[in-house]
Amino acid sequence: MANLKEVKQRITSVVSTQQITKAMKMVSAAKLRRAQDKIVQMRPYSQKLTNILNNVSAAAEGSEDLVYAQKREVNKVLIVPVTSDKGLCGAFNSNIIKASNAAINGQFAGKQISILPLGKKAYEYFKKSDYTLIDQFYQVFSEVAFDNVKSAAEFAMNGFVAGDYDQVVLVFNEFKNVATQIIRTEKFLPMAQEETNEVKTAEVDYILEPSRSYIIEELVPTSLKIQFYKAVLESNASEHGARMTAMDKATENAGDLLKELRLMYNRTRQAAITNEILEIVAGANALGGK
């Protein structure tokens, strides 16, 4: 059985760790509220803009010739894994890396793969691989702002138009609630278009100024950048939710461990007191016998 000093040191260490996990949980909760507000406000705007874009582009003459919608044989693929900069958030980062590897080794097996990591954890993992790594944008989470994310989106879009990539895929965590994040592997480019049909055309009839083609040319890049930014916001909110959950569980585990250690401490102390009493009684009996 461990001595009292060792048990007391362990109790002190666990109490200190529990205080840290509690503080991290509170910090993550505060950050989560702000991140959740951003993504909740972004979702309706992004969805409505995407719907308008699909309706307008599908109804436009020659819409199949949109540069961002060109479908070609997939030989060169750009994977964009979105992780966090820090750990201590459960399986948040490892799930993204697993999903990225699953896509690379499954759907895109044998293709020429390039990686555009967003987040230090993805960068640190994929820099050890043999894939082509684009490392200009992995620090995007140092300040989650549209202007920072826009640069990464433009790089992917320009690469697709130039023929450097035949397909661009986003791998990220979609925020559902504090305890649940859904892993998404979504095709970013070529952009999907809805099929034109009589019902859809009849239901949506826009008046466009100055022209349909001009609106499409302006709206398509903006919509794609917002879609890219939305994935980053989803991941950011998911990260804080995952870290909050992980720190809450760590705090609970520390509490359970403290109960066991304090019980062990009391038993060890009781055993020491009992031994001292036995030694005193034995000594008294020995003196009485003389």
List, by residue number, the catalytic residues.
89
Phi-psi region of 174 (alpha: psi -120 to 50; beta: other; left: phi over 0): beta
Residue pair 230/39 in contact by the 8 Å Cβ criterion: yes
Q: What is the DSSP letter of 177?
A: E
Residue with tokens 């083609």: 213
- Beta-bridge partners for 82: 118
Burial class from Cβ neighbours inside 10 Å (0-12, 13-18, 19+) for residue 181 reads buried
Question: If you write DSSP's letter for every residue of 122-141 in order, what string do you get?
Answer: HHHHHTTSSSEE--SSTTGG
DSSP state of 65: G
* Closest CA relative to residue 33, chosen from 240, 226, 290: 240
**Pairing of the two strands 112-115 and 76-81:** parallel
